[in-house]
Amino acid sequence: MGESTVGASPVTNQPVLRVTAKVLIPLIMLFALYVQFHGDFSPGGGFQAGVIFGSAVILYGLVFGEQRAARALPPGLLRWLACGGLLLYGGVGLACIASGGAFLEYGILTENPVDGQHLGILLVEVGVGLTVTSVMVTIFSVFAGRRQA
C-alpha cells in the first residue's frame, strides 16, 4: 500500500487489460477495414470505419499510454492524413467536373458508369475515413494532454 506509482497510469499496470487490448485492437482495426470496404454494399462507410479505427488507436493510447500512441501516430502525420483525406474527397469531385460531369458524379470517372460509381464511392469513403480517424485521434491527444492545442 505504501508503493508509489508516480508517473504510471493505473491502466498500464493491469496485465489483463494489456493482454485483452493486444487481442482486441487488431480485431477492431480489421472490423474497421471491413466496414470501410463494404460501405457501398451494406451499412457503413468512411465515417463509421473512421470512428471504429480511431477508437482502436484511442484504446491503444488509454491502455499503453499516450506517449506510445504519439509514437505510433505522430501529430504531424495526423495532420497530413486529415488534409489528405479532405483533398482526396475534393479531388474526386474535381475529377468528375474535369471529366465533364457534375461535382461527385461518379459515373463519369470511367467508361463504364457502374465501375465509375464504385470507384468514386470507394475513393470518397477512404477520404472520409482518413479524415475522421485522424481528427478523432487528434481530439483525444489534445484532451489527454499529449500536446498543446
Write the CB contacts of 142 (distance below 8 Å, at least 6 apart in sequence): 149
CA distances from 135 to 39, 46, 67, 95 (A): 20, 13, 18, 25
pTM above 0.75, yes or no: yes
Q: What is the pLDDT of residue 2?
A: 43
Consecutive sets of 10 residues in the chain, 149 residues long: mean pLDDT of each?
Answer: 46 84 96 87 84 96 89 93 96 93 90 90 93 95 70
Exposed, middle or buried, 59 (CB in 10 Å: 0-12/13-18/19+)?
Answer: middle
Write the CB contacts of 26 (distance below 8 Å, at least 6 apart in sequence): none
Q: Which amino acid is at 20?
A: T
Q: What is the pLDDT of residue 4?
A: 42
Q: What is the pLDDT of residue 66?
A: 86
The residue among 85, 98, 31 whose CA lies nearest residue 59 is 31
Q: What is the pLDDT of residue 146?
A: 53
